[in-house]
Amino acid sequence: MSPVEAVRRQRRKEARPAELAAAALSLFIEKGFAATRLDEVAARAGVSKGTLYLYFDSKEALFKAVIEEGVVPLFEEFEAKLETLQDDPERLLREILQGWWDKVGSTDLGGICKLMISEAGNFPDVARYHHEAVIVRWMALLGRAYAIGVERGVFRDMDVETVRQLVFFPLLMQAVWKNSMSCCEVTRTLPEAYFSTYFEMIFRGLRAAPLPESRP
């Protein structure tokens, strides 16, 4: 084997876990976690079942790979905004929420939301992993973004758990709806008017009331 061929093979080997995770995600969305078989994942990825087992020994391990490959890296991007945009809390929260929709909710990764709702009861270990690796970290991120706004007097000081749910759940529901009712009417992206209204409602509710003018 030539050095060039060896390098190509090594690169292919390194890319294979991500390819298998992508194949698994597409099948999880199409068929559900319970109905997906490992041989189907291997076939979708264009490898043998034996090759798949070199990297993953179960569907649960594949699911974790989906999260680690597709979702976890986004947290670093979103969390960096906490430093770069902390002087503009509204823009910070807007970019985090819009970024979630653009890179998770509107993509195949958004199908995980529906998957967890429909199959968490049958696969509690998978649901628990998703909650700890994704939900806890995401809600903490939203809480920190909101806290920055409160500290700077931009947002009103309210119950943080309630605020996190109210600002995020509309997008979460859109992702679930898209992956549940796509056969009827749902499009791949939300219309611009939706986000315009969504953010207007959020920030009108969050903004701190202006301080009364002092009288001489």
pTM: 0.82
108-137 average pLDDT score: 91
Per residue in 24-75, pLDDT tens? 999 999 999 999 999 999 999 999 999 999 999 999 999 999 999 899 899 9
Residue type, 34: A
Residue ranges, comma separated, of all CATH 1.10.357 domains in the chain are 71-206
Residue 3 has pLDDT above 80, yes or no: no
Average pLDDT over residues 163-192: 79
Average pLDDT, the chain: 86
Percent of residues, the chain, with pLDDT higher than 70: 85
Q: Which CATH number fits domain 3-66: 1.10.10.60, 1.10.645.10, 3.40.80.10, 2.60.40.420?
A: 1.10.10.60
Q: Which of 186, 44, 42, 25 has the alpha carbon at shortest distance from 111?
A: 25
What is the pLDDT at residue 7? 34
Band of pLDDT at residue 200, cut at 50, 70 and 90? very high
Query: According to the CATH classification, is domain 71-206 in 1.20.1070?
Result: no
Tell me the pLDDT tens digit for each residue of 68-108.
989 989 999 999 999 999 999 999 999 999 999 999 998 99
